[in-house]
């Protein structure tokens, strides 16, 4: 695929993936992350190949009735990114937000919004959001990363349902998140 930059088009397939041609390409990966799954972490890893700096933005999303509080989700994400190499972990920040994504992206200096797609059903909603965001801020691009076949079916809502009903979620989340889910549902 290609990046469009001010100084022209850079082909990422020539010598491997290249970062954006801007001085510093900041990407925002927004979501509820309630909880963060193996699929989310795949998008984080792959995003680091595309941007110089990645901001993971857990949204407040009270309307979705999250299982974990915003602070718990921030802590979980920070625990998960701790596994990255020191070089990569220095390129990731966790910054929560409330409000319009496009405003948040502008606020943190992002030139790219990164969204993961699992299935065709995600695409319809995501393309609408990307088009609305482009109308509000044409200088911020949206990049879609397709989930690998290993992670296409993983959704945080399904993971929570499985955990709530006493099922094993260990193949969908890290050991740390698995333990947090078990603790959360044992307490209720």
Question: Among all residues, which ones are annotated catalytic?
Answer: 40, 64, 118, 156
Angle made by CA atoms 154, 106, 29, in degrees to the nearest 5: 15
Cross-strand partners of 12: none
Q: Which of 93, 85, 119 is nearest to 29 (CA)?
A: 93
CA–CA distance, 32 with 167 (Å, rounded to integer): 22
- Look-up of token digits 């989310």: 40
Q: Which alpha helices (DSSP H) does 70-172 contain, by range?
A: 70-81, 86-89, 101-107, 120-136, 156-164
Cross-strand partners of 85: none
56 three-class SS: strand
């Amino acid at each position: 695929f290609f990046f469009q930059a001010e100084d022209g088009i850079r082909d990422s397939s020539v010598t491997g993936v290249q970062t954006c041609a801007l001085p510093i390409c900041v990407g925002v990966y927004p979501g509820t992350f309630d909880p963060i799954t193996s699929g989310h972490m795949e998008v984080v890893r792959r995003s680091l190949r595309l941007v110089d700096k990645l901001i993971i933005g857990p949204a407040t999303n009270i309307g979705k009735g999250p299982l974990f509080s915003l602070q718990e989700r921030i802590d979980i994400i920070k625990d998960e990114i701790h596994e990255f190499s020191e070089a990569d972990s220095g390129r990731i920040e966790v910054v929560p937000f409330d409000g319009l994504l496009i405003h948040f992206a502008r606020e943190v200096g992002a030139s790219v919004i990164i969204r993961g797609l699992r299935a065709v059903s995600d695409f319809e909603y995501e393309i609408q959001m990307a088009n609305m965001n482009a109308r509000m801020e044409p200088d911020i691009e949206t990049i879609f990363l397709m989930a690998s076949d290993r992670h296409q079916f993983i959704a945080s809502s399904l993971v929570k349902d499985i955990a709530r009903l006493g099922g094993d979620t260990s193949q969908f989340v890290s050991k740390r998140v698995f333990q947090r889910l078990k603790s959360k549902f044992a307490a209720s």
